[in-house]
Amino acid sequence: MFGKISQLFQSRPKLLDPIDLSVLRCDVHSHFLPGIDDGAPDMEASLALIRSIQEFGYSKVITTPHVMSDYYRNTPEIILGKLDDVREALEKEGVNVTIEAAAEYYLDAEFMDLIKAKNLLTFGDNYVLFELPFISEPPNLKNIIFELQLAGYKPVLAHPERYSFFHMSIERYEEFIENDVILQLNMNSLTGHYSPEVQRISETLIERDMIRMVGSDCHHLGHIELMNHARKTPALHRLLGEGKLLNKGL
């Protein structure tokens, strides 16, 4: 028994020195706007989180609060109003980080209406970050992607490694890429935080050169601690070292 446990720990990749995230420059997925989703509850927490990722080397943040029709009914006006508040607080506190805001759109009944109305918050080159339900693949997923692209948006799928219904088919990930969907990995997926299987799929996607954006998906200081661990993983070192991520150009 003890021999098997010893082998398990020996098989884990050796951690490296923490990588400086200034090579990324920009984080593309976080929940730093105060009091509008399950991220920072207030301005004090917002500032603490932004200071923390600045210490990792980031100089820019594109924060992405949830938009869900049945829970987080955030609009562009709500999000951009909170963004102004955070910018003012950062300036007052002398925190030299550029912050912009988009959103993490949940693929629900109202998402199609927002697409057709062209009422989506974007970042960079008209990118739209969206997420899926974790239970099963939505039957209208392909149609949603088509409608996004037809409206001139560039879809970015948030944390594809976390959708267990894709885990048995690497071809599904390949299909996204073939259809010009950008895959955005959560950095903390490389720590085993979500599950060992999510970590394994994350490492596979990196090995197969499928990831073009990486985000923190940071909600609270516990995620900051995990990010510090993620910075030591060989998989993140490899991903950042390949120089193919879009973050730095945003």
**Over 70: is that where the pLDDT of 5 sits?**
no
Over residues 123-146, the pLDDT tens digits come to: 999 999 999 999 999 999 999 999
pTM across the whole model = 0.94
**Over 80: is that where the pLDDT of 208 sits?**
yes
Over residues 47-81, the pLDDT tens digits come to: 999 999 999 999 999 999 999 998 999 999 999 99
- Position 12 scores a pLDDT of 63
Which of 173, 192, 189 lies closest to 181, judged by CA?
173
- Mean pLDDT, all residues of the chain: 95
DSSP letters for 119-187 = ----BTTTEEEEE--SSS--TTHHHHHHHHHHTT-EEEEE-GGG-GGGTT-HHHHHHHHHTTPEEEEEG
- Position 2 scores a pLDDT of 32
Average pLDDT over residues 1-7: 37
CATH number for the domain whose boundaries are 18-245: 3.20.20.140
Domain ranges of the chain: 18-245
